[in-house]
Structure 1
Amino acid sequence: MRYFKIFIIGFLPILIIQFGILVFLETVYFADNSSYSSKKVENDSTKDVSKPKLVLEEGSINTSASYDGKYLAYLKNNDLLVLNLDNASKTKVSADVGMEIVYYKWIYDRNRLILAERSTDTKNDMFFKLYYYDVDSNNKVEIFNEVNNRSIKIPIYSGNERIDAIDMSTLTNAIYVKLSSSNDYSRIYRINIMAQEKSINTVTHDIGKIISTKRDDVLLYENSKDRKVFEYGNSSPLEVDGNSNLCLLGIDNKDNIYLAPINNDKTQTIYYGSITNKDWKKINIKTLIDINDIYINIKGQIFIKDTSKSIIKELSIGKETYYNGKIIGIYNNGIISEKNNEITKSIFQ
């Protein structure tokens, strides 16, 4: 018993010292090391990624959207600006030396534009030149006459003459350019697949909207004065259901032409069909509609705008989509609008 007491008295301090060392290591030494080696990791994939604000610059003109709604183009200070609506990046396309960009037109089924540039040297004969600009590759190419190894130059006959319409057949590569002057005198130039240009004869020089078929090479144009529609090469106006007071509304990717009989720029009827077969189909609208409130997209969908309610209604199914501010354009899947210089994309309902 005596030896046992001596053992306990001698061993107990050793246990106390060892326990104290373990507590120190656990609470101080190991704790400090772990604070440097462990760290809370934030998972970025769980964070909400807000879309960038899309702002249209002050002074922008001729704003329009690409067919897929990915890009918005506009003119400012004689340059072309292309805004990527996915990431808000912007590309500036400058004119060639001695030229200024005065007009552009999106090609209906791809992210490519036709540009028109005007010479700035007023001391010599002035002219327009045409270019292709591919947005995805950021490449600008002059439309050039390879056969005769020369630039295509559309002459300007008066200082106030301007380009106010371009359309093309994507299958035949024929391009039609409408030029107008301040006295409402218009003329049309045609550039063919060989990049050969010529002025074409039209029934009238009071020309309104022009439309080129996409699969064939047929040009339709309006007589703005008496509201007739003519096919190039035919001196008689188009007539549908005995009505020749028509306006051009649009065209789809199957080359169906959309027409409306009008009275004081209003209609309750839309006709569509092939200009080749003249097999016109009729669509009745319940109320009288201003023709400027009718939109036809390339898929052949017909939309009616109701400005008082800020909605676009798809005519065939009655679905309504709200938009904000002023409509810039309708693309394949929705509407692009602008209010206080802020751009909004609204997907069709």
Structure 2
Amino acid sequence: MKTLVKWYRWILLAVIFQFCVLLYINNVFLNSDITVSITEANKSKSVFTGDFKVPDNAKSISMSYNAEYGAYILDGVLHIVNVDKEDDREVAGKDNDKITYFKWLPDRNMVIFSSDTKNGQKGIVEISTYEPDSETLRQYPQIDGLTAKSQIMDIELSQYTNVVYAKIKTSDTKSKIVSFNVMSQYAHVMNLGADAIIKECSFVNKLVYQNEEKSVYIYDGNKKVKNKIPIDADKIKVLGIDLNDSLYIGILDSLGKVTQIYHQKINDDKVTDNWTKVDLKAATAVEDIIISGNGNIYTNDIEENKIINVISGLKASYRGEFIEILEGALVSKEENKVFITSLKEY
């Protein structure tokens, strides 16, 4: 009898234990109503300041998001420079595959770049990424069957959707837009003019595009549809998208200069005609307008070597030739030196 009681006790304990485990799985592990806090692995660091040397004929000089690394192209070779260690490395283009385009991701030390040849053969382009922290090189599938003049002119990568859009110029008047999904599979998206502008959102799979001074459209990569952006102006130009997915469009005068800037956040809904409008004090060339990642609008005064915050009117000075604005730093080049200085507005 005592033995049976012991057995019943063990069976009862086992049933209670299983019930508790199932209750936990149902109410905690599988509960979709729980709010999960996601911490990004790539925390923003303080922006590096300093300088480094580049050769006389270095092209396309650009910095990583925190200025820890610089990059440039020299004779088709992509160089990555560790600013603090003064270490200059050749990372791609050393053989027959000359590098023609690159850009840094806006929130991490990763550069995405392309070559317009494969083993010296024309009509083939390939996109790759390189992380200098770990020296990791990854390659997307090559795109072949293109014209001999084909060259990638722009690459847009969303760090949240992991979708890549690339603009491949195939002739003096035409370009192809292709996309790569998270599985690195690519697809043809559309054909545009050679001078078309493309800009990708960060948080939604949407691509903004515009043929030269024509209407602006948004392509929804999930639904595979496009919608024209409503804007009451005759001549417009896409200026950029900030890291919060706000789109900036310049309103142009008869000379092609920007007199107003319209901006609006892009989300899953359609863009409306409810724009925030900013008037410029003077008509400004498109190339002299800078949209920073955090949504600040600046104009570049080349004669005074100053950038001017359009909203606050505050200024910041730089040395030599302006290159770019990082979050908290100005990058410029004077002779053979690239300078990274704190962005101090006064």
2:120 equivalent to 1:133 = no
The structure-2 alpha-carbon separation of the partners of 1:184 and 1:303, relative to structure 1 and needing over 3 Å to count, comes to same
2:227 equivalent to 1:230 = no
Count of residues in correspondence between the two structures = 287
CA–CA separation in structure 1 for the residues paired with 2:178 and 2:236: 23
Q: TM-score, normalized by length of structure 2?
A: 0.76
Partner of 2:266: 275
Equivalent pair of 1:207/1:221 in contact (CA under 8 Å): no
SS at 1:292 equivalent = helix
Partner of 1:344: 339
CA–CA separation in structure 2 for the residues paired with 1:248 and 1:347: 28
SS at 1:103 equivalent = strand
What is the alpha-carbon root mean square deviation over aligned residues? 2.2
User: Alpha-carbon deviations, 1:176-203, whole Å to 9, x = none?
Assistant: 110114423111111111211111124x
1:205, distance to aligned residue in structure 2 (A): 2.6
The structure-2 alpha-carbon separation of the partners of 1:162 and 1:118, relative to structure 1 and needing over 3 Å to count, comes to closer
User: Alpha-carbon deviations, 1:77-111, whole Å to 9, x = none?
Assistant: 22211122334221220348653322212111111
Partner of 1:219: 207
Equivalent pair of 1:52/1:88 in contact (CA under 8 Å): no
CA–CA separation in structure 1 for the residues paired with 2:227 and 2:190: 14
Over alpha carbons, which structure has the higher Rg? 1
2:250 equivalent to 1:255 = no
User: Alpha-carbon deviations, 1:40-67, whole Å to 9, x = none?
Assistant: xxxxxxxxxxx97621112211221222
| Percent identity between the two aligned chains | 24
Equivalent pair of 2:116/2:150 in contact (CA under 8 Å): no
Q: Which runs of 5+ in 1 are unaligned?
A: 1-50, 144-151
CA–CA separation in structure 2 for the residues paired with 1:308 and 1:287: 15
The structure-2 alpha-carbon separation of the partners of 1:53 and 1:291, relative to structure 1 and needing over 3 Å to count, comes to closer
CA–CA separation in structure 1 for the residues paired with 2:258 and 2:67: 29
Partner of 2:75: 77
Equivalent pair of 2:162/2:182 in contact (CA under 8 Å): yes
1:243, distance to aligned residue in structure 2 (A): 1.9
The structure-2 alpha-carbon separation of the partners of 1:325 and 1:182, relative to structure 1 and needing over 3 Å to count, comes to farther
Moved more, 54-63 or 291-300: 54-63
Equivalent pair of 2:202/2:243 in contact (CA under 8 Å): yes
Map residues 322-333 of structure 1 onto 2, 5 A cutoff. Answer: 322-333=317-328
Equivalent pair of 1:105/1:113 in contact (CA under 8 Å): yes
Q: For 2:285, which of 283, 287, 290 is the aligned residue? A: 290
Q: TM-score, normalized by length of structure 1?
A: 0.76
Equivalent pair of 1:167/1:211 in contact (CA under 8 Å): yes
CA–CA separation in structure 2 for the residues paired with 1:90 and 1:206: 34
Q: Which runs of 5+ in 2 are unaligned?
A: 1-48
The structure-2 alpha-carbon separation of the partners of 1:298 and 1:94, relative to structure 1 and needing over 3 Å to count, comes to same
Q: For 1:246, which of 228, 236, 248 is the aligned residue? A: 236
SS at 2:262 equivalent = strand
User: Alpha-carbon deviations, 1:200-246, whole Å to 9, x = none?
Assistant: 124x434422100000110011211x433222255664232x22532
